[in-house]
Chains A and B, each alone.
Chain A
Amino acid sequence: MSNTSENPNPSSSSAKMTLKTSDNELFEVEEAVAMKFCTVKQYFEDEKDSDVAARGSTTVIPLPNVHSAVLTMLISYGKKLPQSNAVADNHEEEETKKKERKKYEQGLLKNLMPGELLDLISAANYLDFKEGLEFFNQALADHIQNKSVEYVRKFFGIKNDYEPHEEEKYREEYAWAFEGIECWLIGELKQFMAKTKTLDIAGTLLGIKPALIVASFSVRGLNSLDSNILKPEMIAPGENILAAWINAIGPTGLDSNT
């Protein structure tokens, strides 16, 4: 049974590189991880060829297109990837590592804001970080799948420059692809309508256990007109109710609303 906690090459794992982000933050990264960023790798190799290596000082590699918040995430993702110089694990260990990575990936995506995803892709592209690009691009594709055109426009910050009749023409031609995908506004409206409910009088039900409890914020006490009637005079189930109205009179009581 191999001992995977020990690093067989202690000297190479401690080699670190310094990366400087657009907001002037310095990151010390293990060489193995930094080398996954091919832009960095290229820079490093170019530096080696020049006289800088002879000077012996650690070079700071500038990344003017990458913000520190983004780099943190990319480095963290890079660390979780199988290292190219690691000892080959047996099948079991590989499976465990795979599962761990999947869990990490899911956690990472859950907490990600859509805008951050675009930043990550942009940075991964600049750094030529192939595994990162593949992963984040797939995450982006998964995110915009099945979403309406309006949603995707908003997501990418795209301004619609089609004339209405041009857009309509496309929607008709590709009608089959638009089946089941609703206009964003309609989707929102449907969600709103789903929250509107209608109540009918069903009669008096006895023997319901446990007995229903009136919400604490409902008014109690005597009816102001007839003290034989206790408030609430009429109740219905539900808590976050905005307004209730009978069909005969619209919500605003105006004639135009009936």
Chain B
Amino acid sequence: MDESGLTQQPKKQKLNDERDVVDRNIKYLHNLPEEILRYILSLLPTKDAIRTSVLCKRWEYLWTSIPNLDFKGLELAKRKHFMNFVERVLLLRDSSDIKTFTLSCHVLRDASHVSAWISAAVRRNVQRLYISLCNFRKPFSLPHSLFTCMTLTELELEMPCILKLPPTICFTNLKTLNFGFVTFTKEHSTEKLFSGLPVLEELELNNCYWVNLKVVSISAPKLLSIRIVEDRENQNDENGCQVMISGVSLNYFCYVGEFYNEFHVHNSPSLGEASVLASWYYERKKQISHRMYMLVTGFSSVKELTLVFCAVEVTD
């Protein structure tokens, strides 16, 4: 169809005026090619993009290739609607790659659904995955395919439950890894996890528990920065676990917490900046100060050291 008025050479002055009116009407939507509309949809938040399917039939499936999906449904009252929404969107979304997938919800008894959603994202070559789950009424396990996802570059997992690891773990492209409130156990190849991160650059462990583990070794050749937080009360293990950290490229170390576990940094000649913030309460004062001492005295090459603590008595 000839989009008249825009490509023809103007013939007579009279016709121009008429064409102006036609131009103005045509200037609306149908002048914008589909790629532009899809691009605009990819700039909108997920909710807005999917609402466009109601605009008219032409827009019904225009949204199905949006590369970023953001599902944050923490309001329990609207949970049923939220779960239906996520199911439907993932069902209809086409097979093009997903760049960023964010999921934040209460799991309750829908462990299999949530696992399936994560699986769907992995199948579509997701690059950045941000998962925040809570409220588990049934045992929950992540899909095995997640742990062999070759396209994943950033993973953030906030899951206050036991992390069940599969036999094969291979994060070939993972650069940033962040675990929040996760429980690591001996039975589930924790060791394999922390030695199978060939290109990892940033690691953050936020209030993670180490259960039935005596020694854990975290070693990643490209690791640049590591941050560990342990400021929530931990009733699990009296003595905790010994976490040995080594990284040839490691140049930043940060610890904030109450030393429920022991941490040692070794074999890290590039470590230039370290910051240790220890908080304590009376019962564990000795243990905390001892662990902090062990950690700090192990820094051999640190140029910039920041130490913050309430009170430490150094004993022989």
| Contacts from A to B (Cβ < 8 Å) | 22-24, 64-65, 115, 118-119, 121-122, 125, 133, 137-138, 140-141, 144-146, 149, 152-153, 156-162, 167, 170-171, 173-179, 181
Are B57 and A122 interface neighbours, CB within 8 A?
no
| Contacts from B to A (Cβ < 8 Å) | 6-10, 16, 24-25, 27-29, 31-33, 36, 39-40, 43-48, 50-59, 73, 78, 81-82, 84-85, 88
Shortest B26–chain A CB gap in Å is: 9
Are A118 and B27 interface neighbours, CB within 8 A?
yes
Partner of A137, one of B36, B45, B52: B36
Are A159 and B56 interface neighbours, CB within 8 A?
yes
Shortest A23–chain B CB gap in Å is: 8
Are B54 and A167 interface neighbours, CB within 8 A?
yes
For this complex, 10 residue pairs linking A to B, each with C-beta atoms less than 8 Å apart, are A23-B16, A149-B55, A157-B29, A162-B54, A167-B54, A171-B54, A174-B50, A174-B53, A174-B54, A175-B84
Shortest B33–chain A CB gap in Å is: 7
Number of A-B contacts (CB under 8 A): 105
A156 contact set on B, CB distance < 8 A? 28-29, 55
Nearest to A116 among chain B residues (CB) is: B27
Inter-chain CA distance A115–B31, complex, in Å, is 12
Inter-chain CA distance A22–B10, complex, in Å, is 8
Shortest A208–chain B CB gap in Å is: 46
Q: A118-B27, A176-B78 are in contact. Are A161 and B36 (CB under 8 A)?
A: no
Are B31 and A153 interface neighbours, CB within 8 A?
no
Shortest A25–chain B CB gap in Å is: 12
A137 contact set on B, CB distance < 8 A? 36, 39-40, 43
Partner of B54, one of A140, A145, A170: A170
Nearest to B6 among chain A residues (CB) is: A65
B10 contact set on A, CB distance < 8 A? 22-24
